[in-house]
Amino acid sequence: MRNVRLTCINHTNLRWMCKSIEVNNLGQHNGARNIFYLGKYNPTNEMWCDETWIECECPPSDLRFAPEEIERQKTEPLTD
């Protein structure tokens, strides 16, 4: 089990984190445990903790693997 990064399909610059057991193979949150808001992602320096950005009000079902997590899946895929 490891932490994975998620993004909202409507707000792709925002990031959340959760344990791998909380997502399916598409990165959709399954509601089993908590997700943690990290803030706005800056790909230049790979920082996503920015407390000045408010969490969107979209439902957790709109969360998917963030692009950097999709890349990570190529070398470190989640296992059941």
Q: Is residue 80 part of a domain?
A: no
Q: Is residue 18 part of a domain?
A: yes
Taking only the tens place, the pLDDT of each residue in 6-60 is 999 999 989 998 888 777 777 777 777 788 888 887 666 565 555 567 889 999 8
The predicted structure's pLDDT at residue 71: 92
Q: What is the residue range of 23's domain?
A: 3-75
3-state secondary structure of 22: helix
The predicted structure's pLDDT at residue 9: 93
pTM of the entire structure?
A: 0.77
Q: Is residue 43 part of a domain?
A: yes
Q: What is the largest CA-CA distance in the chain?
A: 36
First to last CA, the chain: 9
Q: State how far Cα 34 lies from the chain centre.
A: 12
Domain count within the chain = 1
